[in-house]
Structure formats: C-alpha cells, structure tokens
Amino acid sequence: DTAVSQTPKYLVTQMGNDKSIKCEQNLGHDTMYWYKQDSKKFLKIMFSYNNKELIINETVPNRFSPKSPDKAHLNLHINSLELGDSAVYFCASSQIGPSTDTQYFGPGTRLTVL
Amino acid sequence: GIQVEQSPPDLILQEGANSTLRCNFSDSVNNLQWFHQNPWGQLINLFYIPSGTKQNGRLSATTVATERYSLLYISSSQTTDSGVYFCAVERWNTDKLIFGTGTRLQVFP
C-alpha cells in the first residue's frame, strides 16, 4: 500500500518544454505539499494546499502551477522548462492536528532538463 | 527567516557505534521533525518531536525547545542507517517546514 505516490519517477526533457508531475495520497490527509531538492540536497517547500485551497506559495516562478482536483491529489505543471529546474521534486502530505503534523513523503521525481 | 543548522555535516562510523546528531534553530518553533533520506532518495519521517523525548528502537530524539535545539541519537548503528538525516522546523503559525542542512551518515561494516 503506497501512502504517497508520484509519477513519473524520472523525467528527462528539453529546455522550453512543458511537463507535469502527478501526486496522490491515500492517507486521508487534508494537506499536501510540493518540495524541491537541489543537487546539494537542500530541501525547500514550494507550495502547500489544504483541502484543495492554496495555502503557501514560496516565491516560486509562475511557470510552476500546482493544481489540486481533490484533496487526495496535487499535481505540478511546469511551463517553459529551464536548466535550473533540474532537481528532485517531492510531494508530501500531512494531517495537521493538536499533537501531530507528521509529513509523509512520496518517492520523488527526478527532473533533468537538457 | 529562521535558520536551521545541523552538525556534524558528515559522519563516518563503523557498525555498532553510537552517534549523536544535532539540530540548532534560531527562533521559537511549534513543530520539529526528523527525517532520514536513504541512499535511494526516499524520505522517511523518524520523529515528530516539538518538545520532550521519544524513542523508537535504536533511535531516540530529544528537543529542548526553550534552548532551541534537538538531538537525534542512533545506537548500535547498522549499514542500513546510512543516508542523510534532516531536521525540519516550523515557526508558529507559518504552516511550513524549514529544512536544515542535513547530516550525511555513512556506516561501514
């Protein structure tokens, strides 16, 4: 039983193309996130959604557009890909409560822009 | 913004050794989590520990929120403990985790 799944696992594409990464969680969580991990392993939050509503947008270029069709899915669409977009993108989910906010991560999508 | 620093940046151990990883943060937080990223890239949550002490098998963690640090203890390390350990914190009412710089652990047989 995969709790947080992402597709595809690897994505290799040319500069200027548009691509999407899909994320699904079956944990019943209300909140979902996208993170970017660069080549130095630094992890930074990009977006978070709570019940399909955008909560956090961390000064990410508007070429990145998240979409949440329902609270179990949070997809990431990237337009006009640039070399600097190469990274590993992680989706995560959590259920925020009074004594817990544990985040569960997907396996990551390694994006390479040539 | 809040600064999250982890030490040491790199740690090399022989199987069976114990280790302590440290996370210092620069502001009050209401959320602190420890993660392990294995050599295949998977991020696994180890502890949700904004304060106090928790234990899970060979791992334990302690957060002293008033002094703005957290410690992760690994006892009797195994090769499967290798990877990068991240601490992540959330400042009050910001709804976002800020990740530390990580500690890369290598355990050799």
Summarised one tens digit per residue, pLDDT across range A23-55 is 999 999 999 999 999 999 999 999 998 888 888
B76/B15 Cα distance (integer angstroms): 7
B24 token code pair:
């210092």
Quick one: pLDDT at residue B60? Answer: 98
Report yes or no: A25 and A6 within 8 Å, Cβ to Cβ: no
A82/A63 Cα distance (integer angstroms): 10
Q: Do A108 and B44 lie within an 8 Å CB cutoff?
A: no
Quick one: pLDDT at residue B63? Answer: 97
Going by pLDDT thresholds of 50, 70 and 90, the confidence category of residue B10 is very high
DSSP state of A39: T
Quick one: pLDDT at residue B1? Answer: 84
Report yes or no: B105 and B11 within 8 Å, Cβ to Cβ: yes
Do strands B83-91 and B29-37 pair parallel, antiparallel, or not at all (unpaired)? antiparallel
> Which residues share a beta bridge with A105?
A92
Question: Which of helix, strand or coil describes residue B93?
Answer: coil
Q: What is the pLDDT of residues B55-88, one digit of tens each?
A: 999 999 999 999 999 999 999 999 999 999 999 9
Quick one: pLDDT at residue A98? Answer: 54
B15 token code pair:
């199987």
Q: Which residues of B touch A56 (CB under 8 A)?
A: 95-96
Give me the phi and psi of B59, to 5 degrees please.
Answer: -105, 145
DSSP state of B30: E
B95/A95 Cα distance (integer angstroms): 12
Quick one: pLDDT at residue A60? Answer: 86
- Chain A contacts to B (CB-CB under 8 A): 41-45, 48, 55-56, 58, 88, 90, 92, 96, 100-105, 107-108, 110
Query: Which positions of chain A have pLDDT values less than 70?
Result: 1-2, 97-100
